[in-house]
Amino acid sequence: MKAKVLVYDVKTKKQEIVEQEIPEMPSFDFKKPLDPDKVKNVLLNAGLIADISEVEA
Amino acid sequence: MVGYAAGAPLGTSIERGELNIDYLELVAYTEVSGTSVQSVSFTGLDLDTDRAYLLLGFGREDSTGAMNVGLQVNGDTTATNYYVQWLLANNAAVSSTRSNNHYLFSTSAAGQFMFNIWILATDQTLANKPRGNYQASEPSSSAANAWSGTWVWDQNANVTSIQVMCSTAHLGTYSRFLLFKVIQ
């Protein structure tokens, strides 16, 4: 897709906004809730819980 | 003995009777104006020669929606060629993960953010993958976020250009960036 890009050349000190073909960028959720199963496994492996049922309760 | 002359500019040192001046040189200052963009690209760079770059940024999302902000180099737009490990603090909540893309942080709709990243070249003979450490924040009175992390471009090559690459084309006007290099 075409996207606007501000290009700054450090050698000439000149800048311009151009249209460039760039692929669609992926989305990423920095605040995605933690996977409950992964959290349980971390707690289990760290010895903080004896079994999963403690978390389920 | 290394001493610092009173009143000397930051980084000015006097060593063994010689005046050595090591400092950061501003090689680029640019501001988005007229229209929002998806990317800001700095060209004409040479990391192998310059050894390190410091990029400072202040930006704003132009009120459309959440946007991720990341760093790419040499026009390599393949997101999976980058890895980022980050720690995010949001009020009392702290989260962390490693992501296989170029995103350093995110900003909310109409959010304003700041970031800085040091990009360093490692020795050519030791798999010269450019690496960086960064801090980023979205200061806000109601929902402030702060990131700390590390970034790597998973390629063995010199860096000749740097792109601030967003997930959407809504990096708004008045966003501004300063790029420094080290003078030896």
Residue pLDDT, tens place only, A11-40:
999 999 999 999 999 988 887 655 666 666
For residue B29, what pLDDT is reported?
97
CB of A33 within 8 Å of any CB in chain B? no
pLDDT of A54 > 90? The answer is: no
Query: For the purposes of burial, counting CB atoms within 10 Å of the CB of A12, is it exposed (0-12), middle (13-18) or buried (19 or more)?
Result: exposed
CA distance B75 to B163: 7
pLDDT in tens, B110-155: 999 999 999 988 776 666 788 999 999 998 877 789 999 999 999 9
pLDDT of B4 > 90? The answer is: no
Give, as one character, the DSSP assignment of residue B168: S
For residue B122, what pLDDT is reported?
74
**Would the CB atoms of A5 and B39 count as touching at under 8 Å?**
yes
B-chain CB neighbours of A29 within 8 Å are 106
Max CA distance (Å), chain A = 65
B-chain CB neighbours of A26 within 8 Å are 79, 101, 167
- Measure CB to CB from residue B88 to each of A13, A15, A30 and give the nearest one: A30
CB of A28 within 8 Å of any CB in chain B? yes
Find the chain B residues whose C-beta atoms sit closer than 8 A to any C-beta of A: 27-28, 30, 32, 34-45, 68, 77-79, 86, 88, 90, 95, 99, 101, 103, 105-106, 145, 147, 163, 165-169, 179
The long-range contacts involving B19-25, CB below 8 angstroms and separated by at least 24 positions, are: B21/B183, B22/B182, B22/B183, B22/B184, B23/B182, B23/B183, B24/B54, B24/B180, B24/B181, B24/B182, B24/B183, B25/B180, B25/B181, B25/B182, B25/B183
CA distance B69 to B39: 9
CA distance B99 to B135: 16
CA distance B54 to B160: 14
Note the pTM of the prediction, 2 decimals: 0.82
Q: Which residue of A has its CA nearest to B181?
A: A10
User: Which distant-in-sequence residues (6+ apart) come within 8 Å of A19 by Cβ?
Assistant: A2, A3, A4, A5
Mean pLDDT, range B103-107, rounded to an integer = 95
- Measure CB to CB from residue A25 to each of B41, B145, B165 and give the nearest one: B165
By residue count, chain A amounts to 57
pLDDT bracket for residue B22 (50, 70, 90): low
Percent of chain B with pLDDT over 70: 85
**Would the CB atoms of B68 and A22 count as touching at under 8 Å?**
no
DSSP B119-149: EEPPPGGGT---EEEEEEEE--SSS-EEEEE
pLDDT bracket for residue A47 (50, 70, 90): confident
Nearest one of B38, B18, B51 to B121, comparing CA atoms: B51
Please state the ipTM of this predicted complex: 0.85
CA distance B25 to B44: 15
